[in-house]
Structure 1
Amino acid sequence: MAKGLALGMGHGDYIDKRLVVVKLVFLIGLILVLVRLFQLQVLLHDWYEKQAAGQHDVLSELTPIRGEIFAKDNLAVDGLAPVVINKDSQLLYAVPAEITAPETVADKLALLLDIDKEELLAKVSKVDDPYEPIQEFIDDSLAEEIKALNLPGIHFTPQLQRYYVPLDGMGQALGFLGYDGSLRVGQYGVEGAWQRELGGKLGYLKAEKDVAGSLIALGKRDIVRAEDGADLILTIDINIETQACGALTEAVKRHGADSGSLIIMNPATGAILALCNAPSFDPNNYREASDIGVFSNPVVSAAYEPGSVFKPITMAAGLQYNKLTPDTTYEDEGQVKIGPDILKNSDLEAHGTQTMTAVLENSLNTGAIFAMRQAGADNFKKIVEDFGFGEISGIALPAEARGNIKSIYGGKEIYLATASFGQGITTTPLQLLAAYGAIANQGRLARPYIVDEVIYADGNKKKTETQEVRQVLSPATARTLAGMMVQVVEGTHGRRAAVPGYYVAGKTGTAQVALKDRAGYDPHITIGTFIGFAPVDNARFVMLVKIDNPKDVKFAESTAAPVFGQVAKFLLNYLEVPPERDVK
């Protein structure tokens, strides 16, 4: 200071100059603030508005609308019934730059939302964030309550919510829309398998960035628009599905069973008409499921030892290669000894002279072994393969299992013998259904499918064409075998699957369940299955009913067969199939 005064600067002049500098700095700062405000409020207003509002240009153009899912409905004017739709709801979001009192905003929102105040405060305090989502899927009534608070910086934008029409037993078939990280994607069922078609294609934003990787405020921005997802029309008939799933759920409950499955197919085309599981889950509230195992679809994913429903497959080998006829006889001694092993009939009885038709009607294990031996090991294995066992069907549902038929290639007759009556091998319900469908369809194996048509957002449509996998049996062999299976339903074990006025072909099977910790079977657990089709000469459907571990009765004739009969009666009436014979 002394040096300054020596140069002729007075103390007052020095202070005045300092004030000028301070004022100048303040003025420059004020100008910068005003420029920034002008930039934010005028030049960049549209950009931030687009970022902040999901339905506004940016977010709506970047996010595709997910396709909806429909079932068939012969009673509807347009022939369709929506099963998965997009419902209008509200997305609550904040623009933190507009919020002057974040504590107050957080306090008031916390009273209405199921979100912790501290979490809300963190969201609304991000002043550099032009768009901060707070909660999805706000219903209209709650949205109105929040709007009435007139909170600055708190906004709503319309949002589509995935909604599943309540349909008992259909959860595994449909799947649900869940999260993969921050993205909402289809999981399980049709939602998962057809994610690419339903989900569409995300758009994206091209924007200039500076050397630090930050967006340049006034830089060039281009939007590549999203492509909306396609709608799916399922092969499932909503009226058949409702009846079938209701019957299955009631049966599982009545018998105290662990679970159950039911699937119906058009044998000529492979179109799935119904697919039910019990227990199921509500896709709208999938997070409430106590066990994620319930999301899996046992019809395609759960391979099991099928038991006696496999005997018609064995019989088909003998018939196809002209090694036996329905009237071929053998002497049933009640058991067959193979090396050190003794295989017995399920009733532990010897039945004397029996025809091949009686083998199916009385479900004789010894007769199945006889038929396998008559056919020959190679022919038996060839028929098993041709029916599609040991390979996936290609139905386009997630996690389809192949089953396991490796034991029949082991070179030991004991494995062929047990396989002949459905033990020591595993199959899925879908594989069994398709195989019986081939018997019903003049020996032709059709590929099962569940999506009938894909309707793209641009109006283009893709119809699923019927695919014949292979000719497994000659038409004559298929007719003969079907006739033998009619006797099963007309006889003792399958009588409760019968429908008065119609010829129904089918077979029961009560399978044992292998122990998990050692060789052998659990004596307390059984799986009952009935598979059949009708009318036998021109089958309109083939159906499988499976009841797992019923607690009150042991055999499939008392668990699965009655459900088949109940649903088959409805089907024949619904499909307007005229009776084939007089009702006694």
Structure 2
Amino acid sequence: MKRKYSFKGRFIIVCMFFFFSFLFLLLILFKIQVMEGRRWSEVGYRQYYSEVITKAKRGSIITTDGQDIAYDVEAYQIILDPTLIKAENIDKVSSIISSEVKAIKFETLKKEINDKKRLSRKYLKVGEPIDYNMKNRMNSELAKESGLKFGVFFETIYKRKDPGKELYGPVIGFLNSEGKGVYGLEKYYEDTLEGTNGVIATYRATYRDFELPTAKRRAEKKYAEDGKNLVLTIDSVLQYTLDEELKKAYLEFDAKTATGIIMESDTGKIIAMSSYPKAKDNSEIKNNNISDLFEPGSIFKPLIVAEGLQEGVINKNSIINSSGQIQVKDRIIKDHDASTIGDLTLEKIISLSGNVAMVKIAERIKDETFYEYLKKFGLDSKTGIDLYSETAIRVQPPSKWDGVKKANMSFGQGISMTQIQIITALNTIVNDGKRVRPYVVDKIIDENGKVLELTKPVVEEVVFSPDVAREVRRIMESVVDKGTGRGTRIEGYKIGGKTGTAQKAGSRGYAGGGYVSSFFAFFPVDNPKYTILVTIDEPKGQYYGAQVALPTVKAMIEKIIKYKGIKPNGEENIIVNLNVGNDNKTKPQNHQDLENSLLSGVMPDFTGLSLREVLMILPADMYPNYKVSGSGRVKSQSPAKGSKIDGKTKIVINLE
């Protein structure tokens, strides 16, 4: 029987099989290399390419006298890439990490590394973030043997510290869980503070110690750009002092709120801004100085007198008669007592706070003119202060006024504004008729202290002539010399001021509401440096501005004079630090010595250090039982220098 296939036939079949197999492989290679080359190139690229994000450090917020009240502190997260750790090094790496970080157990970490390595997992986050000293010690141990560092990384993260939160909380604001500002300066200056994260692109082998020749030691870097620092106009000493004085008034009169602002008269710089009560947590933080609306009462009167003088409907010699009451449409408006009945000079009207005479002055001013001045005072819009969440409401035009609206506004009722609005408006009188924009950030600096941006005073409007402003300042001086503000007098100093007691509207109109008590002051009269306003909302018992708000303002003026060394003519010579009475300067200490002392279990001397320095030096993991109180620099501590300490020791740091 003839064979079905000859040798030659079988040979041809085998050759054809190999030919078509080879052709098929060529087609597959063509598809991979040419048709799908880009996709497979990306797959291969990802096998040896890795990208590490380097976090930017958020900028600090610093008072004008150098106190850090919000800043980032560095911490380090241990990150392992199990695929890069050699099997023979797993025990050593686990031992080094677990011996340094007590919360991490050797066997547990070893098992996690092995499990991840077996599954070719490249990411293992180990424990909680550690401090700078722990990271350095760990790096030193890993560097003792070649290859131990391979696969061990320390990701830099930042934690926001705000030691000034209680004192400056509504001004600073706070961050959300993603590290973004949501209130105060943190929100308003988010783009300035946040910085820009960096990226480090690295190339590594896909198998053990083999390195790709083209990728060897190759890396691309985009360095992180840290955020810029804000230097405020706020003075920590005066902020603390104002805060304490407001607290006294708040408690003494069982008030709803107590708020205060100190402004530099000619620039609009906010030197201090505070309020009571304090927020219990971030959800309650609110800057009452820029968001609470109230009717100002009699502190509004100097603006109407200045308006009348500017428009020429009255002059400095004008006499206004008051019978003690006046009917406006269907309302009877009365003076608060008989001291303002009869023929009154402008000085007497303001110093004794007459209402009827103010109504008569307002009647001489056209409605449209009166309305335009309200806008010139800045009461129809926000002041533009560089803080988030400022409130303002529109002033109604004359077409919507009832018959008594203007009369009520002439003595500060029937019109609402924030504290920052009214102090800015009144400061036009103090500042020779110029309304300046208030601000709290003096300059923006980089990490080396280089000034990147300097805030310059902005004149928003020239409202009065210098002559009119000077005349009204003279009138306001009489309030302190012989009027309702007599309690503010300080021997040798010329102080101007105005008391204010405004009724609050309730369910039964003004008769059913409480009171807002205020005192506005500036000094020295001839060369004004500082403008001050204190407002107490709903005080219990006494309610006149002279009784409730004036004492706080006087206390602040006395302390400013002492702190700034202000002479009666307005010249300054800072000679006293109110923080500690006599400020004994401390010789700079070596931080490394302090750290070594703590690591050795011996209490160092923190005296003279700032809170930021203390927090950077003190290893919180070793000494968790520490408490810091106050602000400024370390005045005292417990235990004393040289005492033996351990993890159970209670450490108390007091700053002043």
Give the shorter-chain TM-score range: 0.7 to 0.9
Q: Provide the secondary structure at the position in 2 that maps to 1:394.
A: coil
Q: Provide the secondary structure at the position in 1 that maps to 2:304.
A: helix
Q: Provide the secondary structure at the position in 1 that maps to 2:67.
A: strand
With over 3 angstroms needed to count, the CA separation of the structure-2 counterparts of 1:225 and 1:90, relative to structure 1, is closer
Say if 2:517 is the partner of 1:523. Answer: no
Q: 5 Å matches for 1:156-195?
A: 158-166=156-164, 168-179=166-177, 183-195=178-190
Aligned position for 1:84: 70
After alignment, is 567-576 or 217-226 more displaced?
Answer: 217-226
> Among 231, 234, 241, which residue is 2:232 paired with?
234
> Among 72, 76, 87, which residue is 2:64 paired with?
72
After alignment, is 373-382 or 419-428 more displaced?
Answer: 373-382
Aligned position for 1:106: none
Higher RCO, Cα 8 Å, sep 6+: 1
Q: Provide the secondary structure at the position in 2 that maps to 1:406.
A: coil
What letter matches 1:446 in structure 2? V
Checking the alignment, whether the CA contact within 8 Å between 1:407 and 1:424 is kept in structure 2 is no
Checking the alignment, whether the CA contact within 8 Å between 1:332 and 1:352 is kept in structure 2 is yes
How much does 1:92 deviate? 6.3
> Among 374, 394, 399, which residue is 2:389 paired with?
399
How much does 1:560 deviate? 1.1
Checking the alignment, whether the CA contact within 8 Å between 1:170 and 1:277 is kept in structure 2 is no
Name the CA distance, whole Å, in 2 between partners of 1:162 and 1:430: 29
Aligned position for 1:461: 452
How much does 1:186 deviate? 1.6
With over 3 angstroms needed to count, the CA separation of the structure-2 counterparts of 1:200 and 1:348, relative to structure 1, is farther
Q: Provide the secondary structure at the position in 1 that maps to 2:514.
A: strand
Checking the alignment, whether the CA contact within 8 Å between 1:401 and 1:428 is kept in structure 2 is yes
TM-score, normalised to structure 2, is 0.66
Q: Provide the secondary structure at the position in 2 that maps to 1:173.
A: helix
* 1:444-479 C-alpha deviation (Å, 9 max, x unpaired): 111111111111469561111121112111000000
Name the CA distance, whole Å, in 1 between partners of 2:402 and 2:511: 24
Q: Provide the secondary structure at the position in 2 that maps to 1:359.
A: helix
After alignment, is 412-421 or 479-488 more displaced?
Answer: 412-421
Checking the alignment, whether the CA contact within 8 Å between 2:267 and 2:457 is kept in structure 1 is yes
TM-score, normalised to structure 1, is 0.73
With over 3 angstroms needed to count, the CA separation of the structure-2 counterparts of 1:132 and 1:440, relative to structure 1, is farther
How much does 1:333 deviate? 2.3
Aligned position for 2:477: 486
What letter matches 2:405 in structure 1? Y
How much does 1:131 deviate? 4.2
How much does 1:274 deviate? 0.9
Q: 5 Å matches for 1:249-264?
A: 249-264=247-262
After alignment, is 192-201 or 86-95 more displaced?
Answer: 86-95
How much does 1:268 deviate? 0.8
With over 3 angstroms needed to count, the CA separation of the structure-2 counterparts of 1:158 and 1:506, relative to structure 1, is same
With over 3 angstroms needed to count, the CA separation of the structure-2 counterparts of 1:90 and 1:378, relative to structure 1, is same
Aligned position for 1:198: 193
After alignment, is 406-415 or 359-368 more displaced?
Answer: 406-415
How much does 1:290 deviate? 5.3
Q: Provide the secondary structure at the position in 2 that maps to 1:177.
A: coil
Checking the alignment, whether the CA contact within 8 Å between 1:93 and 1:156 is kept in structure 2 is yes
Name the CA distance, whole Å, in 1 between partners of 2:281 and 2:70: 23
* Long gaps (5+) in structure 1: 1-42, 52-57, 74-79, 101-110, 114-120, 148-152, 209-216, 282-288
Q: Provide the secondary structure at the position in 1 that maps to 2:255.
A: coil
Aligned position for 1:59: 53
Q: Provide the secondary structure at the position in 1 that maps to 2:63.
A: strand
Checking the alignment, whether the CA contact within 8 Å between 2:322 and 2:356 is kept in structure 1 is yes
Q: Provide the secondary structure at the position in 2 that maps to 1:165.
A: coil
Say if 2:541 is the partner of 1:548. Answer: no
> Among 556, 566, 569, which residue is 1:577 paired with?
566
Name the CA distance, whole Å, in 1 between partners of 2:354 and 2:282: 39
What letter matches 1:447 in structure 2? R
Aligned position for 1:417: 407
How much does 1:234 deviate? 0.7
How much does 1:497 deviate? 2.6
Name the CA distance, whole Å, in 1 between partners of 2:309 and 2:522: 20
What letter matches 2:236 in structure 1? I
Aligned position for 1:245: 243
With over 3 angstroms needed to count, the CA separation of the structure-2 counterparts of 1:169 and 1:496, relative to structure 1, is farther
How much does 1:304 deviate? 1.5
CA RMSD of aligned residues (A): 4.0
What letter matches 2:288 in structure 1? P
Checking the alignment, whether the CA contact within 8 Å between 2:518 and 2:535 is kept in structure 1 is yes
With over 3 angstroms needed to count, the CA separation of the structure-2 counterparts of 1:401 and 1:129, relative to structure 1, is farther
What letter matches 1:398 in structure 2? Y
